[in-house]
């Protein structure tokens, strides 16, 4: 098949990594694959270099921008329409909110026979005001009329979409976000080297976080929970992997509460470096207020690192509470602190939860299984 994937931007992020692996896998199976994305990059870092030599064609669409801008958006719509008419793809497969809305309209205008949209996270969510949520809900309902079938990375995305009246349940298929599992192998020597580079001793507990330093990624709650965690476990350290626009603000807040010396900010790392860093963690806190499927939690569990997460969106589909980690109600700072202290104080509990998490995730998140599911869906619905 001739397949065209469209995503708003190729920053370092779960939806982008998922899309690149999908394009790679489909190309390896003999499909003619084109990936279209906008040029935007930022402190999150870029994945454009990973498209080189990956076996598929790339198109950098200058007008495709994340921010709403009527002129840019119209230019992007017209450019996508021209591209689809030239390529004549059998399938257009869209990802993310902006690209999902514009590319589905362009695909309909260009008479593309099959249009698939993956929901990596809801475009309308609890972090937005009522007016914004309502607008995105209307746009998604309209775009659903131009969509042959939906993929959701978690069952929760289907439930939320159906409840919002986007489309009937039988038009959705859950295909979980895949990862290259060969990169996620716990290794004691690597763990020792990583922790030594952080200046962390064997007797100290490392509480890690992997997320952009940005609003709604949970750092506000984590910072608020830190004093209680440290009182309960004086020998703990925090390691944050990621970067973003809020870095300086978070550093200021850490200094204000006397915690800056306890937190090591790793900054931006390539996706290939995430497993090595997670290998040095003892437990993970993932306190994002809005998720699709929390890839950072999967990455931790694959490295036998138990996870504490807010009980929202796709998180309960990854963390089995009291088996592979602990789920906490959204926004519950005291709950985060209590869960972190409990795990930090109990080596055996961390070990058993880590083993259970790895066993579960190894059978669910292989990227080749993801590509199997996507290819099978195309075969079912292509016109």
Q: Which domains does the chain have, with CATH numbers?
A: 2-178+366-381 (3.40.50.2000), 181-362 (3.40.50.2000)
Supply 277's token pair. Answer: 């860093």
> In the predicted model, what is the mean pLDDT of residues 166-179?
95
> In the predicted model, what is the mean pLDDT of residues 253-269?
95
pLDDT the model gives residue 248: 95
User: Which contiguous run of DSSP H or E holds residue 3?
Assistant: strand 2-9
> Does the structure show a pLDDT above 90 at 310?
yes
> In the predicted model, what is the mean pLDDT of residues 150-166?
94
Hey, which bits of 227-365 come out as E strands? Answer: 236-241, 263-267, 283-286, 307-310, 325-328
> Does the structure show a pLDDT above 70 at 127?
no
User: CA 43 → CA 210, 237, 242, 267, distances in Å?
Assistant: 14, 24, 9, 9
Supply 235's token pair. Answer: 């020998």
The region of weakest confidence among 84-88, 114-118, 268-272, 374-378 is: 268-272
β-bridge pairing 114-119 and 91-95: parallel
The CA distance from 274 to 296, in Å, is 9
> Does the structure show a pLDDT above 90 at 61?
yes
* Count of other CB atoms within 10 angstroms of residue 12: 22
Query: Confidence class of residue 383 from pLDDT cuts 50, 70 and 90?
Result: low
> Does the structure show a pLDDT above 80 at 40?
no
Average pLDDT over the chain reads 93
């Amino acid at each position: 098949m001739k397949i065209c994937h469209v995503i708003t931007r190729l920053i370092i992020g779960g939806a982008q990594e998922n899309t690149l692996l999908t394009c790679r896998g489909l190309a390896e199976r003999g499909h003619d694959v084109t990936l279209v994305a906008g040029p935007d990059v930022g402190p999150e870092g870029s994945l454009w270099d990973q498209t080189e030599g990956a076996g598929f064609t790339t198109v950098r669409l200058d007008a495709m921008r994340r921010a709403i801008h009527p002129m840019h958006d119209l230019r992007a719509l017209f450019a996508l329409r021209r591209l689809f008419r030239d390529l004549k793809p059998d399938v257009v497969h869209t990802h993310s909110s902006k690209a999902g809305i514009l590319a589905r309209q362009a695909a309909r205008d260009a008479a593309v026979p099959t249009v698939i949209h993956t929901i990596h996270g809801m475009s309308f969510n609890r972090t937005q005001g009522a007016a914004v949520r309502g607008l995105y809900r209307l746009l998604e309902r309209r775009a659903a009329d131009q969509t042959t079938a939906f993929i959701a990375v978690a069952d929760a995305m289907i439930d939320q979409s159906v409840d919002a009246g986007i489309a009937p349940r039988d038009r959705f298929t859950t295909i979980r976000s895949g990862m290259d599992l060969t990169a996620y192998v716990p290794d004691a020597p690597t763990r020792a080297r990583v922790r030594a580079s952080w200046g962390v001793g064997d007797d100290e507990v490392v509480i890690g976080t992997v997320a952009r330093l940005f609003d709604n990624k949970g750092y506000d709650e984590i910072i608020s929970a830190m004093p209680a965690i440290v009182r309960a476990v004086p020998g703990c350290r925090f390691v944050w992997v990621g970067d973003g626009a809020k870095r300086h603000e978070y550093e200021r807040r850490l200094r204000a509460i006397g915690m800056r010396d306890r937190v090591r900010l790793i900054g931006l790392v390539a996706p290939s470096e995430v497993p090595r860093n997670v290998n040095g963690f003892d437990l993970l806190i993932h306190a994002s207020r809005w998720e699709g499927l929390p890839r950072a939690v999967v990455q931790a569990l694959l490295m036998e690192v138990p996870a504490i997460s807010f009980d929202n969106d796709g998180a309960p589909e990854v963390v089995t509470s009291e088996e592979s980690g602990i789920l906490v109600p959204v926004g519950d700072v005291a709950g985060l602190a209590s869960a972190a202290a409990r795990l930090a104080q109990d080596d055996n509990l961390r070990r058993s939860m880590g083993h259970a998490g790895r066993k579960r995730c190894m059978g669910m998140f292989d990227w080749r299984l993801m590509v199997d599911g996507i290819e099978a869906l195309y075969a079912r619905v292509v016109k």
